[in-house]
Structure 1
Amino acid sequence: MSDQVEQALAEFEATMKGVRAAQRDLEAVRTTVTAKSRAVTVVVDAGGDVMEVRFPTHAFRTMPPAELGRLLVETIADARTQARRAAVAAFGEFLPAGAAAHGLFDGGVDFERVVAEAYERAAQPLPLATDPDRSDES
């Protein structure tokens, strides 16, 4: 049993090392999206927070305010979607098979609850393996 525990611990430590590396890599990621009209460019960080808005042309000066607002909202949404996909790709390999990685990044999964449940399960005693050569003498 000790070998299994040691192997599980080694696998866990390797996974956590990979997760920390992915987190560091994502901290530096910036996603840049330019609207099809080229009137606005938006830069977001890995979490989807807007870091910069640029107007590469003077087209925005002649746009009606409602159109410019709509274009900003759409371009920000596109940038956030791309940033979320990058985050899912970076962390997807560390999740169990079939886990919906996108839910971790779009609010569909309560990550704090998942972690709390994992800690609760980890605190439970391991079931004792039954030894077929040993009879229960109680």
Structure 2
Amino acid sequence: MSTPFDEEIEELRATYQSQLAQIGDLQRRMREVTGTATAKSGAMKVTVGPQGEVTALEFPTGAYRRMTPKELADMVMSTIQEARAKATAALTEIMAPHLPEGLDAEHLVRGTANVGELFPQEPAMPEGVREYVEQGRIARHVGEGPKITHK
């Protein structure tokens, strides 16, 4: 048995499937993000993944052998920080076009965004659907069949 909402439900399903495919592509692109930095001296190169984890560390020259432990540690840390900043920038660029207005992609990537403020307490839906969900009946208008009304 069909309901008055079959067409709308099918449209919602199609929209959902399309959005799900887009999210899958977005997640794939995010997993592939890397950030690479080379120390100013050229003594090391580091690559990090999307979460800032070090995935490669190279010392293309023997220059590190002439460094004090503190100089070496400072070089390693600053180069990793630079690579992480590049990965964060790449993630931000990928995510920004897909976020709701008012949500800063960089804050989201860094975990400092308050996303709870962006979402309503109740999901948006046509008034007829809301009435049906809440009261189990369909809005009827004089002289018309079942109709979904939008706010």
> Same fold judged by TM-score > 0.5?
yes
Q: 1:34-113 counterparts in 2 under 5 A? A: 34-109=38-113
Residue type matched to 1:33 in 2? A
TM-score w.r.t. length of structure 2: 0.67
- Please tell me whether the aligned partners of residues 19 and 94 of structure 1 are also in contact (alpha carbons under 8 angstroms): no
Q: TM-score, normalized by length of structure 1? A: 0.72
Q: Quick check: 1:42–1:76 contact (8 Å CA) kept in 2?
A: yes
Task: Name 1:136's counterpart in structure 2.
Answer: none
The Cα offsets for residues 17-71 of structure 1, whole Å up to 9 and x where unpaired, read as 2221021123233322111111111011112111111111111100111111111
**CA 1:12–1:84: 2 relative to 1, 3 Å:** farther
Structure-1 separation of matches of 2:31 and 2:42 = 27
Where structure 1 has 5 or more consecutive residues not aligned to the other structure, the ranges are 134-138
Return the alpha-carbon distance in structure 2 between the equivalents of residues 24 and 76 of structure 1: 23
Point out the structure with max Rg over C-alpha: 2
- The one-letter code sitting in structure 1 at the alignment partner of 2:23 is V
Q: Which amino acid aligns with 2:48?
A: V
SS at match of 1:32: strand
**Residue number in structure 1 paired with 2:30:** 26
- 1:127: how far off? 4.4
What's the % identity of the aligned pairs? 28
Q: Secondary structure of the equivalent of 2:73? A: helix
